Structure 1
Amino acid sequence: MKVDGSRIRELRQKSGRTLQVLSEDAAISPSFLSQVERGSRSRRSTRRSASPAH
């Protein structure tokens, strides 16, 4: 599934939230959120392994 970063940015701005506030709520860094909004990062790159490392 591809994330539409421009849509995330649009909704964030309409709600009056900053990158800092939304990134804190989402438990990600502001720079990562900015990259997602710009299309530099995709949902695929945000996935974490479901199984713990051994």
Structure 2
Amino acid sequence: MQVDVTNCDREPIHIPGFIQPHGLLLALQEPNLEILQASEEALSQALPQMTEQQF
């Protein structure tokens, strides 16, 4: 299989605005790591699991 990388700049994967189905997004502010933004996936699945493990 040969890969043609000449059109990589036209692939939408590099354009912000979407998160892959298996990913999530957390935007934190230092120094106290306050959560500024979170994707729906982060709020519904990842954060509840993370807080359960911490306490």
Which structure shows the higher strand fraction? 2
Which structure shows the higher helix fraction? 1
TM-score over 0.5 for the pair: no
Q: Which has the larger radius of gyration?
A: 2
User: TM-score normalised to the size of structure 1?
Assistant: 0.23
User: TM-score normalised to the size of structure 2?
Assistant: 0.23
